[in-house]
Every structure is written in structure tokens, then in C-alpha cells.
Amino acid sequence: MGKTVSKLELAEIIGRDERTLSRWQKDGMPVIEFGVGRGNENQYDTQLVIEWLMRQAALNGKKESTRDRLDRLRGDREEIALARELGEVVIEAEMVERFEAVITAAKIELLNTFPDEVAATLSARYGVQVDDQLIREPIESILRRLSAYDEDDDLAGDFDESDDQEGSEEDGE
């Protein structure tokens, strides 16, 4: 995905005026979001627009016929199938399914096996009885925060921020 821009920004990027963009839009130039109401502008993905312009240039100004479009789409489908067969691409749904299976296995291990094993190891090594809840509670806390993960969140940020905010709210009560 390219950069999301307004019509004015797109006009500056590709060096054409806004009237030309309006005409191209009527001819099928992609718009990712239509501005509704006064003052709300359409939004464009620069990558999609540039790809559309390249297709238009390849057609030398001719309109793509329905038959040509169908042939192009079939060719694209065949190309994707071949790339998948060669292992050059992976289908998103398959990756999500695999990822979820790995996460589920890790969660089961972290919640069910790991605390007991660590508590037993620490108890044997140091001769004191270690309660597995001391290990289980931080793991559960981390898993709760991970389950609430939003892809828009900054991963480089401090994971303890939510705890600090909760603590300050509790202190204020």
C-alpha cells in the first residue's frame, strides 16, 4: 500500500491538475475513500493510482475491453497460483491459521506446564517451597496484554504503560 493522499497532494505528486484527476477518476482511477459532504476530500492510495496509470499507459490510451480485462485477471490468477506452487507466496489465511496454532500451543505451555516446572525446579534447587501462582500470575498478565494488542499500537513502546496508568488510576481513588 502506498501513501494515502488528498486530490491536491496527488496532483502535486504526479504533476497533473485536479481537473485531470477528476476526469481520470471518472475513467476508473482508484479512490480508496470518497469524501462525503462539503469539505471532505477523496483519499487516494498513491501506489494504486500509479499502477492504474501504468496500465493506462500500456493500453496507449485505449479503453480496456471486458474481454481484455477478463484475460488479464485470469492471467493474474494463474500467475498467483504458480507463485504459490513454487512457494514464492503464502496465502494470508494459511499464515493466520498457522500463527494462531503456534500462539495457542505457546499459551497452553505457558499457562499449564511452565509454572509447575519452574516452581518445582526452584523448590528443589533452593530448598524452599515456591508457589506456582507466583510464576503463573505475571504470565497471565502478559498474555492478557498481548491478547488486547492492537496492530496500531507502538510495539517499541513500554509494555508497562498500561499497568502504570492503571496504578495511577487506583492511586487517585
Domain annotation covers residue 31: yes
Domain annotation covers residue 168: no
Question: Same structural domain for residues 98 and 141?
Answer: yes
Segment 36-53 mean pLDDT: 83
Question: Same structural domain for residues 139 and 105?
Answer: yes
- What pLDDT score was predicted for residue 118? 94
Higher pLDDT, 58 or 141: 141
Question: Same structural domain for residues 143 and 110?
Answer: yes
Question: Same structural domain for residues 101 and 141?
Answer: yes
- What pLDDT score was predicted for residue 137? 93
Per-residue pLDDT for 92 more than 90?
A: no
CA 165 to chain centre: 26
Domain annotation covers residue 171: no
Q: Domain of 75?
A: 65-89
The x, y and z cell numbers of residue 39, run together, are 469539505
Residue-wise pLDDT tens digits, 114-165: 999 999 999 999 999 999 999 999 999 998 888 887 766 655 544 444 444 4
Per-residue pLDDT for 94 more than 90?
A: no
Please give the model's pTM, rounded to 2 decimal places: 0.39
Domain annotation covers residue 48: yes
Residue 167 — very low, low, confident or very high, per pLDDT cuts 50/70/90?
Answer: very low
Q: Which long-range contacts (CB under 8 A, 24 or more apart) does 25-34 make?
A: 27/56, 28/52, 29/53, 32/4
Question: Same structural domain for residues 69 and 112?
Answer: no
Backbone angles phi, psi at 44, to 5 degrees: -125, 145
Domain annotation covers residue 14: yes
- Least confident interval from 38-47, 74-83, 93-102, 124-133: 38-47
Domain annotation covers residue 128: yes
The number of distinct structural domains making up the chain is: 3
Segment 63-87 mean pLDDT: 86
Question: Same structural domain for residues 70 and 108?
Answer: no
Residue 38 — very low, low, confident or very high, per pLDDT cuts 50/70/90?
Answer: low
Segment 105-114 mean pLDDT: 91
Question: Same structural domain for residues 82 and 134?
Answer: no
Tell me the C-alpha distance between 71 and 87, whole Å. 24
